[in-house]
Chain A
């Protein structure tokens, strides 16, 4: 594999990614996509990309990444409260806070590896959650507003902006006058496509995040991180201190999480403590493993699948399912509704669990391994007989 071909492949990859992100709203419309869901795809895509830099490259399984996402969200909302409604300072401060938190937690947690590291990060994240949920939400020193979540108010100072708009409402988040929540509609192929300004901002950041992650994967630094994953002892015996590398990866992925949290607040200016809960940390682990840990694109696909299940599958009630099986004869239709209904609506977790189990058992490399297998199947049948020996396979990236 020569360097030129590899960089050309990367170019195609990033171009393909940009096209996919740009056409996202159109592709998703027939499947029930709407602006908020698309923003979620992009935001959780960023979160998963960042997590993958740590877990996919160094193999350190952090069970507390949601803490950085939550810290970033709070930072962004405070920025809206104190500075103004422009999203850029909010997102930057979210990244800084995410980075600071991860440096602090990473410095302590990275003294251990394996399961001990996971437990340490989990403990720290749960600590952050409890602090945000009650200790820092008390009326005396109210940083987080507890269970309700930190919200904007009409009487927030906003020193570099206006406290209230002319019509007497809280001004919407914006980027130099472009409102995030404004939705554009246009008709295409007989369907109404909805795009919000916020999606363009999220799309820009997810492309940037993807590009940076790709450069990290290809860099000597990325190679060093892979070496940490492969055999850390051997690295130490060669006289190399691996901890700074692991810490750098941890902080970078913490900043990604902060960025995701900041974007979440920018799209919907509220920060709640449950963003820090261990279930949220577990979710990003699921996303990464479902899509394919250590691959570039996999975590984004995993994030998309989970968010789609959470938002669309959970909204199917019996009414919807009956409509769906309308074309079948009555008895078969109601039988199908009876069979499928435990898997939709509030049972979407069950669907997710089944999918996750199937993938872990049959495709340990995640969905990306599935795609790679399908791809090889086609290529294999074309190239068979030409005697093209399989080139040393690069992990599906």
Chain B
């Protein structure tokens, strides 16, 4: 075998290539270092990067997120009816762009894969000069892209991400989350479940086998056991299983009288529909009606599951039927543009884009560290969730949580969830050193230079 013999020519070639490679960086002037911060806008526009799933299991949510972002850009640039700018407690934004610059945007497809999401975020930062990345419909992706934005030195405004880790052990100084998390879901659902189903229940968990599922299962266990429920078993199901019958059959034989489905998206649609088809809800176990709980609900999922959601409890970040001025303004401008009400994913994404723009306007610059400072500890209202605080210690928004129930008598194809209770902020607020949020460190802000 002769291929490891290094000839004189080969050596010369190799060293020439190596020399060229080592010398090249020093012969260029690197202008990136002269800037105050990465991608500082010099023209009359500022670019936002909208990174949403356009293909894969969460494509429906991604499409709705993108609609919301386009609406937000329109409102920021003075188009449309101004949407939430009218009701937002901060009056810094007037619809004349941000810091005197028009808002432009680029889009990317996360494919709900960490790698693809990072690649598309990188393209938007390196090639398109995006100053802020936002979006996503999965916690894994949100955490991965948040890490990238921290390293690159741009701001990340998380979209739909519900796992504790996003603002727990994987929190970053450059990343912010408006959406609620599994801890808040558990805290809000606990009292409602107690009031409706009593304190003597045996719960069986089916959990999507990934970060978010574990987080959701943990929180639900904590809060159901606190009201006296017993956890019979917690079974992990692979993501995107499609057929859940093999996981549902053992439930009835286990003696459990409550099924908690820690599933989201298509998984939840499939598992819930199959559970109902199995006739579980007609069973009587331990002298009680068998019940199902879905901790994280969304309207898009309820639409997918159809009849099966009727009377089933869950929690949600926002719902279009809320009657406050902010929610109504948002539903109105979204409905006028697209012809149907927005989902909670659309709402959180719209609000995140607005909050970033507002922070930049208040800070008078797009410097990431100035924006971090403007958002940390910021209190605002009029965005559809009532008074909200962006906690400085973990960059998590604290606001009331909605407990919803599948509507028994829907009046339209969008009227699928009914708001049962609005759990006030004090009830869902947890201390920064909560054990489920341990092990992370915000670090320092990075401006990318």
- A and B are partners in one complex rather than unrelated chains: yes
Chain A residues in contact with chain B, CB under 8 A?
11, 14-15, 18, 22, 32, 34-37, 40, 130, 133-134, 137-139, 146-149, 151-155, 164, 167-170, 172, 178, 181-186, 194-195, 197, 200-201, 203-204, 207-208, 211-212, 215-216, 218-221, 268-270, 272, 274-275, 311, 314-315, 317, 345-346, 349
Min C-beta distance of A293 to chain B, whole Å: 20
Task: Please measure, in the bound complex, the distance between the C-alpha atom of A154 and the C-alpha atom of B106, giving whole angstroms.
Answer: 31
CB distance from A196 to the nearest CB of B (A): 8
Is B140's CB within 8 Å of the partner chain A?
yes
Which of A168, A212, A270, A275 touches B148 (beta carbons < 8 Å)?
A: A270
Residues of B within 8 A of A (CB): 1-4, 9-10, 13-14, 17-18, 20-22, 24-25, 28-32, 54-55, 106-109, 113-116, 118-120, 122-123, 126-127, 138-140, 143-144, 147-148, 150-152, 165, 170, 209-212, 214, 236, 238-239, 439, 441, 443-444, 446
How far apart are the CA atoms of A272 and B117 in the complex, in Å? 11
Chain A residues within 8 Å of B138, by CB: 147
Chain A residue numbers with a CB within 8 Å of B107 are 315, 317
> Among the listed B17, B119, B150, B211, which residue makes an inter-chain contact with A148, where contact means beta carbons less than 8 Å apart?
B211
On chain A, the residues within 8 Å of B140 by CB distance are: 146-149, 272
CB distance from A280 to the nearest CB of B (A): 9
User: Which residue, of A34, A155, A169, has the highest number of chain B Cβ atoms within 10 A?
Assistant: A169
Bound complex: CA of A164 vs CA of B441, how far in Å? 11
| Cα–Cα distance between A1 and B15 once the two chains are bound (Å) | 30
In the bound complex, how far is the Cα of B150 from the Cα of A152, in angstroms?
12
A347 to chain B, nearest CB (A): 9
The answer to whether B114 touches A311 (Cβ under 8 A) is no
Please tell me which one of the listed residues B54, B114, B238, B444 contacts residue A345 in the complex, with CB atoms under 8 A apart: B54
CA distance A317 to B114 in the complex (A): 22
Q: Lowest 4 CB-CB distances: which A-B pairs, in order?
A: A215-B3, A34-B127, A147-B210, A168-B444
Known contacts: A146-B210, A169-B446, A270-B114. The answer to whether A151 contacts B119 by CB under 8 A is no
Pick the contact of A346: B10, B31, B55 (CB < 8 A): B55
Pick from B120, B151, B165: contact of A181, CB under 8 Å: B151
Closest beta carbon of chain B to A95's beta carbon, Å: 15
User: Is B20 in contact with A22, judged by CB distance below 8 angstroms?
Assistant: yes
Bound-state CA distance A167–B369 (Å) is 13
Q: Roughly how many angstroms separate A15 CA and B14 CA in the complex, as a whole number?
A: 11
In the complex, chain B residues whose CB is within 8 Å of the CB of A275: 115
B214 touches A270 (CB 8 A): no
Q: Could you tell me if B114 and A149 are in contact, using CB atoms closer than 8 angstroms?
A: yes
* Contacts known (A172-B151, A221-B1, A221-B3); A184 close to B30, Cβ less than 8 A: yes
Residues of B within 8 A of A317 (CB): 107
Q: Chain A contacts of B54 at CB under 8 A?
A: 345-346
For A182, the chain B residues whose CB sits under 8 A away are: 25, 30, 32
Enumerate chain A residues within 8 angstroms of B13, measured Cβ to Cβ: 14-15, 18
Query: Contact between A315 and B170 (Cβ–Cβ < 8 Å)?
Result: no
Does the CB pair B115–A36 fall under 8 Å? no
What are 11 A-to-B residue pairs whose CB atoms are below 8 Å? A35-B126, A37-B123, A148-B114, A169-B444, A169-B446, A184-B25, A184-B29, A186-B29, A220-B2, A270-B114, A346-B55
- A186-B21 in contact (CB<8A): no
Within 8 Å CB of B211, what residues of A? 137, 146-148
List of A residues within 8 angstroms of B238 by Cβ: 130, 134
Complex Cα gap A261–B262 (Å): 33
Contact B139 A219 (CB under 8 A): no
Contact of B236 among A134, A197, A212 (CB under 8 A): A134
Q: Which residues of B contact A169 (CB under 8 A)?
A: 150-151, 443-444, 446
Minimum Cβ distance to chain A for residue B238 (Å): 7
B18 to chain A, nearest CB (A): 7
Whole-angstrom CA separation of A18 from B28 in the bound complex: 20
Q: Please indicate the chain B residues that have their CB under 8 angstroms from the CB of A215 in the complex.
A: 2-4
Q: How far is the CA of A220 from the CA of B5 in the complex (A)?
A: 13
Report B-chain residues with C-beta under 8 Å of the C-beta of A40.
Answer: 119
Name 17 extra pairs, CB < 8 A, besides A148-B114, A270-B148, A272-B113. Answer: A34-B126, A36-B122, A149-B115, A155-B439, A170-B151, A181-B151, A181-B152, A185-B30, A185-B31, A185-B32, A197-B25, A208-B14, A314-B120, A315-B106, A315-B120, A345-B109, A346-B55
Q: Which residues of A contact B446 (CB under 8 A)?
A: 167, 169
A184 touches B109 (CB 8 A): no
Report B-chain residues with C-beta under 8 Å of the C-beta of A167: 444, 446
Known contacts A148-B140, A149-B114, A168-B443: does B2 contact A219 (CB below 8 Å)? yes
Q: Are A268 and B118 in contact (CB under 8 A)?
A: yes
B144 and A151 form a contact (CB under 8 A): yes
Assembly CA distance A34 to B32 (angstroms): 14
CB <8 Å contact, B24 and A200: yes
Nearest Cβ distance between residue A113 and chain B, in whole angstroms? 23
User: Which listed residue, A15, A153, A204, A311, touches B18 by the CB 8 Å rule?
Assistant: A204
How far in angstroms is the closest Cβ of chain A from B68?
A: 16
Give Cα distance in the complex from A221 to B1, angstroms: 6
Closest B residue to A215 by beta carbon equals B3
Query: In the complex, A168→B445 CA distance in Å?
Result: 9
A139 touches B214 (CB 8 A): yes
Give every chain B residue within 8 A of A18 (Cβ-Cβ).
13, 17
Expressed in whole angstroms, the minimum distance between the Cβ of A127 and any Cβ of chain B is 13
Is there an interface contact between A219 and B1, defined as CB atoms closer than 8 Å? yes
Contact in complex: B123, A34 (CB < 8 Å): yes
With both chains docked as a complex, state the minimum distance between the C-beta of A166 and any C-beta of chain B, in angstroms. Answer: 10
Neighbouring B residues of A148 by C-beta, 8 Å: 114, 139-140, 143-144, 165, 170, 210-211
Q: Are A268 and B443 in contact (CB under 8 A)?
A: no
A311 touches B2 (CB 8 A): no
User: A212 CA to B118 CA in the complex, in Å?
Assistant: 31
